[in-house]
Amino acid sequence: MLVYGINAVIEALSSDTRRIERITIAKGKAGRRLQQIIDQARAAKIPIHFEPEPALERKAGTRAHQSVIAEIAAAELASLDDVLERRPRLLLLVDGVEDPHNLGAVIRTAEAAGVEAVLLPNRHTCGITPAVVKTSAGAALHLPVCRVGNLVQTIKTLKESGFWVVGLDMAGESRFDEIDTSLPLAVVVGGESRGVRRLVRENCDFLLGLPMKGNVSSLNLSVAAGILLYTLRLRHEKLI
């Protein structure tokens, strides 16, 4: 897998240098953070190559590579059993997010909010692509990611394991004070256009909507997910 962009490559170097096969930097480019990447790579004995800028653009398939690309050995996806063995307290289930930039932004927010694993259905949801890693500022390299076949069945399995399942839905009428945040929680967010699918909504224990007090009718997905995740986290820590 290719990871490009300064933040994403720095996070990759902080995550697991054993997976990084080589780093390519555009010839003639310099700067404090590029030098930081070079120094960290040399310290970890990772091969560094310097190539013309057009070569990086061809390799990354985009001009947004910020003059640096890391080639990373693909990591094995976690299984649901692996995730549950770690006895997590907060999981994120993503239902139908197909845009890699939206998925990357959601994963970045989730990692910052303390989510311990992200569960992605095999169908109708983007995978962990280089664009997802870059948009997540490298957070996608830190969070365990699990691909599941059927989200409804996964929710039932989580419930059997003691989780309460909270869906983010504009029409949701549940209240935060109904949710026992001392119990393990699995938060479900939906795709860009249709939100959480009907069958998935029907299997959630709670459906929470965010009140819209202004003139806009909706929020960016990662912003809405962040508000929900942080509110649940802060209620668990009894800070609100």
Dihedral over Cα of 37, 42, 43, 45: its sign: positive
Q: What is the CA radius of gyration of the chain?
A: 19
Q: From 154, 240, 232, select the one nearest 200 (Cα to Cα).
A: 154
Tens digits of pLDDT across the chain (240 residues): 888 999 999 988 987 777 788 999 999 998 999 999 999 999 999 999 999 999 999 988 989 899 999 988 765 678 999 999 999 999 999 998 888 889 999 999 999 999 999 999 987 788 888 888 888 877 888 888 899 989 999 999 999 999 999 999 988 999 999 999 999 999 999 986 778 999 999 999 999 998 888 887 778 899 999 999 999 999 988 877
What is the amino acid identity at position 176?
F
pLDDT score of 75: 59
Q: Which DSSP string do the residues of 57-117 spell out, in sequence order?
A: HHHHTSSTTTTEEEEEPPPPPBPHHHHHHT--SEEEEEES---HHHHHHHHHHHHHHT--E
| CATH number given to 2-72 | 3.30.1330.30
**Residues of each domain in the chain carrying CATH 3.40.1280.10:** 80-236
What residues does 22 pair with on adjacent strands? 71
Q: From 111, 130, 186, 153, select the one nearest 9 (Cα to Cα).
A: 130
**Can you tell me the distance from the alpha carbon of 231 to that of 240, in angstroms, rounded to the nearest whole number?**
8
pTM of the model: 0.79
Question: HSE of 110 in the Cβ direction (CA atoms, 13 Å)?
Answer: 32
pLDDT score of 204: 97
pLDDT score of 217: 73
CATH match for 80-236 among 3.40.50.300, 3.40.10.10, 3.40.50.12280, 3.40.1280.10: 3.40.1280.10
